[in-house]
Structure 1
């Protein structure tokens, strides 16, 4: 596990900012640290941001671009917890990242691995994301 650096601490602080633009920036900056527990917790909060759907969309996009199992797992957790409206914005963010990037195979592979996760919510969320990726790859 990585040590919490100054940059990570600053991004974590931005994640709770009242300004939606700062929260969007935090999501982008934290995405590559999805495997760090403090960052993971903040990222799930950003994915489920109750104040602004742009935060949800852009954080989902950033995590999808990272494409690691840890990053996709966080989106899967959010998908399992999200209401229909929030889920639509998560899907939009995932699709934004997948369109034209060739990133579908990595996301699909991560979803396949997450399909064997111990948590039912992660398995269900990963199945939804895999379907989104499949639809985007057509």
Structure 2
């Protein structure tokens, strides 16, 4: 029998967009696990369905850990404008549903000092998104 992590990893490569969305939700809490992080990056950059990008970003923002927000920051720094827009929408959806603005903003404050330049750029962009929520 497959574990939850194994099943979610398998779902991340499904041809079904709804299975990939579920995988993004299920993997978000495992953002610190290398295999999950790799799959989450692929889901954030999903080239077939913007719902996968949006909902994976939302799930990662809802988790709100350094590892989960770092993945969004890493990816958004090099994403095309369309992907970045859907990630922003997903993050703002998460922030609108809970008191996550302070958590995400605090994590971004830590990530602007990350050794990786792409993460620093992405964290600055996400910080601007939290400012856009009006909180």
| Fold in common (TM above 0.5) | yes
The bucket for the TM-score relative to the shorter chain is: over 0.9
Shift of 1:61: 0.2
Shift of 1:127: 0.3
Does residue 63 of structure 2 align to residue 70 of structure 1? no
Aligned length: 134
Structure 2 alignment gaps of length 5 or more: none
Shift of 1:42: 0.3
Structure 1 alignment gaps of length 5 or more: none
TM-score, structure 1 length as denominator? 0.94
Task: Report the counterpart of residue 3 of structure 2 in structure 1.
Answer: 6
Give CA deviations for 1:74-133 in whole Å, capped at 9, x if unaligned.
Answer: 000110121001110000000000014111000001001100101000000000001101
Q: What pairs up with 1:109-120 in 2 under 5 angstroms?
A: 109-120=106-117
Task: Report the counterpart of residue 133 of structure 2 in structure 1.
Answer: 136
State the secondary structure of the residue aligned to 1:81: coil
Does residue 19 of structure 2 align to residue 22 of structure 1? yes
Which of the numbers 35, 54, 59 marks the counterpart of 2:56?
59
Which of the numbers 93, 101, 124 marks the counterpart of 1:96?
93
TM-score, structure 2 length as denominator? 0.97
Runs of 4+ aligned residues of structure 1 deviating over 4 Å after TM superposition are none
CA distance in 1, matches of 2:47, 2:67: 23
RMSD, matched Cα = 1.0
CA distance in 1, matches of 2:61, 2:49: 19
